[in-house]
Chain A
Amino acid sequence: MLLVKIAWRSIWRSKRRTFITVSALSFALSLVVFFIAFAEGVYAGMINEAVRMQAGHVTIEHRDYHDAPATDLTVADAPALRIKLAALDGVASTKLLVLGQGVAKSGNGAEGVAIMGVEPSVEAKASPLENKITRGSYLDEGDTRVVVIGQTLAERLKLDLGKKLVLSTNNTKGELVEELVRVKGIFATGVVEIDGYVVQTPLGFAQELFQLGPHEVTRIGLVLADADREEEILRAARRIIAAPAVARPWEEVLPDLAAYVRFDGGSNYIIQGLLIFLSLFTIFNTILMSVLERSREFAMMLALGTDSLRIRAQVVLESAMIGVLGCGIGLLVGGIVALALQIHGFDLKSIYPEGIAVSGVSVGTRVYGQVTVKLLATLGGLVFAATLVTSLIAVRHISRIEPAAVLR
């Protein structure tokens, strides 16, 4: 108790210094919380948009499809398998997809495209693409020989709503097939790779086009209610499926996006770490100054028979108190701001009027933060631990105090 009393009163001996130190620590931590929550929110948004638009958080596909995507590498008996997968706890929706390569031709040219056969009603709920339709309308159940295309492709081929284009591809037998389709809708995601390349058409028509059976798809996508349960659901899906089908996490299906999140996230953590590292210098300076200024006091305590360990413990406790104050205020301020960002979001439309695209994935201009108790506890714990380690370096000076020399 005496230790606590001395430590608490000691940190307020130099109120200004303590105030500056606590402020520096709390400011740095609140910035770190904000920026990490912001980045986590952006990554979560990107991943969410990408997996919903493509093949889900968990993808079921032929084991060789990943390395050599071809329409003859299919998942058999897809509707029955889908029912089993949809029953897994945590799966929000399932989507059947047929993906293949082809060429879109109009009277004004030809462009290589990705032909994506989708279930219109499922896709409309799972994928954000329906909301990106700028002209016309999205696909409906019962549609056939219609497509939705991106703004860029429409401009390149000078296509408009209701206009005809020819989809040309090789079917699973290797034969060249061509089908005439009409443009039902035009979307604009802001991502050239999507707007200039993706052509969506009803699943049944895509199966016909590629000469697949009605139960054959190239991918089954599982969209999860909680992305954090990906590992658990991946394991459960693997227990259901049989070879040659395999279950892959989105990180394997979308390696570019996963690499971007890893790299950008890593860079972000390094920058935030540097910010914390710099603020720790303030702590180190404060504790060291405090120790140096009080050499005489510590010498007196040693002379009275106080154990050197007890004095060091007192100084570490002082650092802990500063750490608790700084981390507490920092987490509170950073947490409140990040929570506000998570609830209300922040609209970047004035900065990015044409939308934001990162690594081939479109992100809405309204970005949301993502702050969790785990994030706050981890950051607070790390900074607090770093504060204590910093103080341990500073208190080494105490063991070098020679009472006889200092008190002389």
Chain B
Amino acid sequence: MTAIVKLVGVVKEYGAAASLVRALRGVDLEIDKGAFAAIAGPSGSGKTTLLNIISGLDTPGAGHVFVEGQEVTGMSGRALSRLRLRRIGFVFQAYNLMPVLTAFENAEYVLLMQGVAKAERRRRVMNVLGQVGLSGMEQRFPRELSGGQQQRVAIARAIVSEPALILADEPTANVDSTTAAGLLDLMTELNEDKGVTFVFSSHDPNVLKRAKRLIAMKDGALEGSADAKRREA
């Protein structure tokens, strides 16, 4: 398998002197293409920081980060923006949809930024909204959708440009267990049928048990990593 994400000795510290927080303490990690990996750990363990550093939203104090074999550490802000726009999809805990855009327009947003032609945009957005079960709700604004539906729009927005990697930070934290299960079904389906790589963080055991690979973190360091079969064994 090819590593889509590779971290070598990544360190991230916040603050200084007495208030120094070591968010990541020399993390080495490889995630393969097509993975369905969960980063687990209690609050403050460094899950979100790890996701932010993989995506280039945050920069490590030391170490190296590679996405699809390309080193992102040291990239300019503009180059990182381009990388996120073209190769990485995001799903946020709080949905973070644009309230002034409809479900269709929210999903279309990234394609517009990429300069995809109108007809192609429409085809892909309609297709992806169908995949996430939102057919018929294209013209609804976020305020007219439930939390679960909003997160589905967020997933549609993340997958519509067919990125190499989707990073999801606690994607089920704000929805009820039934909706969470539905969202995980959707993510699993996209992973298995379309080969989309998912890396998501959570501390919910019900979510974590669905991951094919579990990356455990504690106090900014990897505690261990195991695939599903090993965990079952």
Across the interface, name the chain A residue whose C-beta is closest to B97: A300
Q: How far is the CB of A375 from chain B (nearest CB, A)?
A: 37
Is the Cβ of B100 less than 8 Å from the Cβ of A305? no
A407 adjacent to chain B (CB < 8 Å):
yes
Contact A303 B101 (CB under 8 A): no
CA distance A301 to B48 in the complex (A): 18
- Of B83-91, B196-204, B211-219, the segment with at least 4 beta carbons within 8 Å of chain A is B83-91
Any chain A CB within 8 A of the CB of B188? no
Q: Which of B48, B94, B113 contacts A305 (CB 8 A)?
A: B113
**SS class, residues of chain A in contact with chain B:** helix
- Contacting residues, chain A, for B77 (C-beta < 8 A): 308
A404 touches B98 (CB 8 A): no
The 0/1 profile, CB within 8 Å of A marked 1, for residues 18-57 of chain B is 0000000000000000000000000000001100100101
B75 to chain A, nearest CB (A): 13
A109 to chain B, nearest CB (A): 83
B54-81 Cβ-contact flags toward A at 8 Å (1 or 0): 0101100000000000000000011001
In the complex, A297 Cα to B142 Cα: how many Å? 13
Q: Is the CB of A307 within 8 A of B78?
A: yes
- What sequence of 0s and 1s flags, for each residue 179-213 of chain B, a beta carbon within 8 Å of any chain A beta carbon? 00000000000000000000000000000000000
B113 touches A10 (CB 8 A): no
Tell me the bound Cα distance from A10 to B98 in angstroms. 10
How many residues in A have their beta carbons less than 8 Å from beta carbons of B? 22
Assess whether A2 is in contact with B109, with CB atoms less than 8 Å apart.
Answer: yes
A297 in contact with B48 (CB, 8 Å): no
Q: Is residue B15 within 8 Å, beta carbon to beta carbon, of the partner chain? A: no
**B118 to chain A: closest CB distance in Å?**
10
Residues from chain A with a CB closer than 8 A to the CB of B140 are: none
Asked whether, in the complex, the Cβ of B109 is within 8 Å of the Cβ of A304, the reply is yes
- Give Cα A295–Cα B214 distance, bound, in whole angstroms: 33
In contact, B113 and A404 (Cβ under 8 angstroms): no
Indicate if the CB atoms of B98 and A6 lie closer than 8 Å: yes
Contact partner, A302, options B48, B81, B83, Cβ 8 Å: B81
In Å, the complex CA distance between A297 and B92 comes to: 12
- Contact between B78 and A303 (Cβ–Cβ < 8 Å)? no
For the complex, what is the distance from the CA of A399 to the CA of B99, rounded to whole Å? 22
> Total interface residues on B, using CB and 8 Å?
30
Contact A404 B58 (CB under 8 A): yes
The chain A residue sitting closest to B77, CB to CB, is A308
A304 touches B55 (CB 8 A): no
A292 smallest CB distance to B (angstroms): 16
B101 touches A6 (CB 8 A): yes
Residues of chain B within 8 A (CB-CB) of A121 are none
- CB-CB < 8 A to A408: which residues of B? 48
Partner of A300, one of B81, B83, B96, B100: B96
Residues of B within 8 A of A308 (CB): 77, 81
Whether B112 sits at the interface, judged by CB under 8 Å, is yes
CB of B110 closer than 8 Å to a CB of A: yes
Q: CB-CB contacts of B156-179 with A at 8 A, as 1s and 0s?
A: 010000000000010000000000
- Beyond the given A13-B99, A305-B84, A307-B78, could you list 5 further A-B residue pairs with CB under 8 A, ordered by the A residue number? A9-B100, A296-B94, A296-B96, A304-B84, A305-B88
Residues on B lying within 8 angstroms of A by beta carbon are 48-49, 52, 55, 57-58, 77-78, 81-86, 88, 90, 92, 94, 96, 98-101, 105, 109-110, 112-113, 157, 169
A contact set with B: CB distance below 8 Å: 2, 5-6, 9-10, 13, 296-297, 300-308, 310, 403-404, 407-408
What are some 15 contacts across the A-B interface (CB < 8 A)?
A9-B101, A13-B99, A296-B94, A297-B98, A300-B96, A301-B98, A303-B84, A303-B92, A305-B83, A305-B88, A305-B113, A306-B85, A308-B77, A310-B113, A404-B57
Interface pairs A-B: 9 shortest CB-CB:
A305-B85, A9-B100, A305-B84, A300-B96, A404-B58, A404-B57, A404-B52, A305-B81, A403-B57
